[in-house]
Amino acid sequence: KCPTILFCHENAGNIGLRMQEFELILKQLQVNLFVFDYRGYGFSQGTPSEPGLIEDSRAALEYLSKLAANKTIDGSKVFLFGRSLGGAVVVQLSSHGKDLPLEPAGVIIENSFTSIADMLDSAFPFLAFSFLKQKFLRLKWESLRTINSIKYPILFLSGLKDELVPAHHMQRLKDGAKSAKFCEFHTFPEGTHNDTWLRGGVQYWSAQKEFLNKCTKSNF
């Protein structure tokens, strides 16, 4: 059976805006793909929050665990994919390890950030004061602090022309993932924040394909 990817999308828009990409994922990687909208996105009810988005991703993984239990999918070949905000969601989710309803075979993080506080430093350096951030930041998403808790293999995909998240965030995340079974880091010189999947070319897809094969010790 082929791998299954649980896709956690970025902040802007909803899954309906990503159908072209989803079609290409299916074509290029030959995988099952499970996508969902966080609460407050698309047709999903509720109000977005940091704990809420993590809970939503956990619920999606729990659903996949049920599909694995009845042999609809191969539970040993489930991967977590997150881009930008989705990368932060995946970091938090996968850090729970054996407490997860289904442990992933690997984690893929694309164009994500170390924390919201660090993003504020880049976007608004005149507000880069610790006491201000501690008092006023509602969202934390402290991926750099959490990523060392992840034990699974991690693939990092970094677009070097990312206009929203400075590329050094991805390098710092990779450097912080010291407990991962192994890490792979690929850069894409023309990749911007939301379209590295378009600009990365053959290398973008081959990096993922090889990672999936390596983690599952199989070809598909």
Selected catalytic residue, list 56, 162, 169, 186: 162
CA distances from 90 to 64, 70, 111, 119 (A): 15, 25, 12, 18
Question: Does the annotation count 175 as an active-site position?
Answer: no
Question: Does the annotation count 122 as an active-site position?
Answer: no
CA distances from 65 to 38, 102, 111 (A): 19, 5, 27
Residue 173 and residue 154: Cα distance in Å, rounded? 10
Tokens at residue 11, please?
């902040």
Selected catalytic residue, list 9, 56, 57, 84: 84
Helix count and strand count (H, E) for the chain:
9, 6
Residue with tokens 């990687």: 29
CA distances from 93 to 11, 170, 191, 216 (A): 17, 18, 26, 20
Question: Does the annotation count 193 as an active-site position?
Answer: yes
Selected catalytic residue, list 37, 149, 179, 193: 193
Catalytic positions, written as ranges: 84, 162, 193
